[in-house]
Structure 1
Amino acid sequence: MKQLFLLNLSLLVSVCASFASPDSCFQQKTSIPEGYTLVWSEEFEGKDLLPDLSQWWYETGGHGWGNHEIQNYIEGVVGQDTCALVSDGILKMIVKKIKQEVCSVRLNTLKSWTYGYFEARLKLPAGRGTWPAFWMMPTNGKAWPEDGEIDIMEEVGYNPNEIVSTIHCNAYNHTKGTQKNGTKMIPTAQSEFHVYAVEWTEDFIKGYVDGECYFTFANDKTGNRDTWPFDAPFYLKLNLAWGGDWGGAMGVDESALPAIYEIDYVRVYQK
C-alpha cells in the first residue's frame, strides 16, 4: 500500500542508493533532494470514485483557455459519463466525446506553497490531439505571464513520449518565443508510469524525470520581476487538454478518444 510506502520512504531511498543498479528498488527513482520532508500528498486511495474535493477544485469551461483548445472542462461527471475516475489507487483523467462535445477535466489543489519539491507519478495518454500537463500557477496571480507559470511536465500526442518542463514569465514566454525549457525523450511515457518533478527554491527551478534533472532555470538575482516572479505561493494543476495551439498543431485524431491520463500520486515536500 502507498501509505506504507510513505512511512518508509526515507529508509527505502537510502537503501536504494546503496544498490549497484539504480532501479533495484523501484521502477522509477524517487530521489527526493536532501533536507526535504513530505508536507502534503494525494494518494488516490479513498473509497470514493471521484477526486477528493477537500483537496481539489475543478476549473470548468470550453472557451479555449488562451490556447484555442477544443475540449470543454467539466466537473467530473455529466449524466452517466465521467471524465474523472478514481479506481485501484489511480486517478484516471479521461478526454472523451459526450453528445458530440469533447469533454475532459482540469483539477487544481486547494493548497498552495512557496518553494519545495513537487512530484507526481504519471502515465500519459496516447493519440494525436492529447495534451496532458502537470503544472503550477500563482494563487494570487492577476496577469499572465507577469505573475509566472511553472510547467513540471507537458507532452503532446503528435510528438509521443517527448516530455517538456518549462517556465513562463514576462521576459521568457512562448508568445515571444523566449520561453525557457528542457525536453527529454522517455520511450515508455505513454505505456508506463514515470515520476515527474520540479524543485523550486529562491535560487533556481529544476525539472526532473525519474530522479534525473534535465532542466535548470536560475534566478538571476537582479530583483527584476520580469525575469523572476517565482517568490509567491503557487498551487498545483493537473489537466488533459484536447487540440489547441500546441496539442492540435498537427491536427487531432478523434479515433484516439477516449484517451486516459493516469495519476498514481501527487506529493509535496518542503525544507
Structure 2
Amino acid sequence: MRHLLLLFSVTFVNICNASVSPDNRQTEIQAPEGYALVWQEEFNGTASLPDTAKWWYETGNHGWGNHEIQNYIAGFAGNDTCALVSDGTLQIIAKKKGDEVLSSRINTKESWTYGYFEARLKLPAGKGTWPAFWMMPRDGKTWPGDGEIDIMEEVGYDPNVVLSTIHCEAYNHRKNTQKSGNKLIPTAQSEFHIYAVEWTEDFIKGYVDGECYFTFENDKTGNKDTWPFNKPFYLKLNLAWGGDWGGAKGIDETALPAIYEIDYVRVYQKK
C-alpha cells in the first residue's frame, strides 16, 4: 500500500453519484460518516507472502463449484509464486505450470457483522480471467442458503465491466435470480480503483470509486431465504481461471501469466 492511513472516523465524500479521477492515485474514497477503521491490510510488509496472522489459503483444483480450471496453491509451489507481496501491493498471479494453471485464493482470519469493506484493485486482462473480492459466512454450511456477498467480480471476456452481487436461497445464479449491479469502468484493467460494499441490517450497497451502483434491501420478513446477512462474514481475494462464468466464451492462455493487484484492504464499522 502506497499511502499511510490513520485510525479515525471520516465523512463519506461521494455517496451515490460522484467518482474520483483514476489518474489521481493520492485521492482516496472515504468511508461513510460514523464509521471507524477496525482492520486493515496495507501490504507494506517486508515478507514476500501475505501475512499468515491475517490470512489463510484455500487450496486445490476441484473446480470450486463452478468448474474452474485453476489449482489454488498456498502462495507458492516450488519456484512458482502466486501470491507475491512486493512494493506495497499484493499480486495474485495465475500462471501456466506444465499442464495446469496455478493461482491463489486467500481469506481473512477475522470476520465481521456489518460494516464498510473496501479494497483498491487493478484487475487482470485476458479471456479466462475471473478476479474477485467477496465475502462468505464464517460458519457457513450450505450454499447459497447461508449467503454470499460479492463486492467486485469481473470476467476477462467482458473487460472492465465490474459487478456487485448477493446470493442467498431465494436469489442466486443457479436459479438466475441473483441480485446484482454492474458498471463499466474503462480503466479497471489498467489502473487502480476502489471497490467497496456497505453492509448494514437494512441494506447492502455496492460502490466503485465512491459511486453507489447496487442496492439490495432487507425485506424485514425475518426469512433467512431472503436475508441470511445477519452474522459474521470474512473477506476473500482470488483469481480464478476459466469455469462456468470466467470461461463461458473460452480462454486465451496467451494472457498468462495474469496479475490481479491489490493495493490495500480495509474494514470500517460504526462507532
Corresponding residue number in structure 2 for 1:68: 67
Cα distance in 1 between the residues matched to 2:247 and 2:136: 23
C-alpha offsets along residues 168-217 of structure 1, whole Å, 9 cap, x if unaligned? Answer: 00000000000000000000000000000000000000000000000000
Cα distance in 1 between the residues matched to 2:203 and 2:13: 28
Instruction: Give the superposition deviation at 1:101.
Output: 1.1
Corresponding residue number in structure 1 for 2:172: 173
Matched, 1:205 2:217: no
**Residue pair 2:70, 2:102 contacting (<8 A) in 1 also:** yes
Secondary structure of the equivalent of 2:231? coil
C-alpha offsets along residues 32-78 of structure 1, whole Å, 9 cap, x if unaligned? Answer: 11000000000000000111000000000000000000000001111
Aligned pairs (5 A) from 1:93-112: 93-112=92-111
**Residue pair 1:28, 1:194 contacting (<8 A) in 2 also:** no
Cα distance in 2 between the residues matched to 1:27 and 1:185: 22
Matched, 1:143 2:142: yes
**Residue pair 1:28, 1:195 contacting (<8 A) in 2 also:** no
Instruction: Give the superposition deviation at 1:98.
Output: 1.3
**Residue pair 2:130, 2:155 contacting (<8 A) in 1 also:** yes
Secondary structure of the equivalent of 2:244? helix
Corresponding residue number in structure 2 for 1:37: 36
Corresponding residue number in structure 2 for 1:80: 79
Structure-2-length-normalised TM-score:
0.93
Cα distance in 2 between the residues matched to 1:108 and 1:74: 13
| Letter aligned with residue 152 of structure 1 | I
Secondary structure of the equivalent of 1:245? helix
Cα distance in 2 between the residues matched to 1:147 and 1:27: 38
| Letter aligned with residue 119 of structure 1 | E
Runs of 4+ in 1 over 4 A off after TM superposition: 8-11, 13-17, 21-29
Secondary structure of the equivalent of 1:178? coil
Secondary structure of the equivalent of 1:230? coil
Instruction: Give the superposition deviation at 1:16.
Output: 10
Q: Percent identity?
A: 74
Cα distance in 2 between the residues matched to 1:109 and 1:14: 25
**Residue pair 1:16, 1:25 contacting (<8 A) in 2 also:** no
Cα distance in 2 between the residues matched to 1:3 and 1:249: 38
**Residue pair 2:13, 2:210 contacting (<8 A) in 1 also:** no
Secondary structure of the equivalent of 2:173? coil
Cα distance in 2 between the residues matched to 1:38 and 1:143: 31
Cα distance in 2 between the residues matched to 1:199 and 1:65: 26
**Residue pair 1:93, 1:105 contacting (<8 A) in 2 also:** yes
RMSD, matched Cα? 2.2
Aligned pairs (5 A) from 1:113-124: 113-124=112-123
Cα distance in 2 between the residues matched to 1:96 and 1:27: 31
Matched, 1:126 2:122: no
Secondary structure of the equivalent of 2:254? helix
Aligned pairs (5 A) from 1:163-242: 163-242=162-241
Instruction: Give the superposition deviation at 1:8.
Output: 7.6
Unaligned stretches of 5+ residues in structure 2? none
Secondary structure of the equivalent of 1:61? coil
**Residue pair 2:7, 2:37 contacting (<8 A) in 1 also:** no
Cα distance in 2 between the residues matched to 1:254 and 1:42: 31
Cα distance in 1 between the residues matched to 2:71 and 2:48: 21
Instruction: Give the superposition deviation at 1:7.
Output: 1.8
**Residue pair 2:12, 2:29 contacting (<8 A) in 1 also:** no
Structure-1-length-normalised TM-score:
0.93
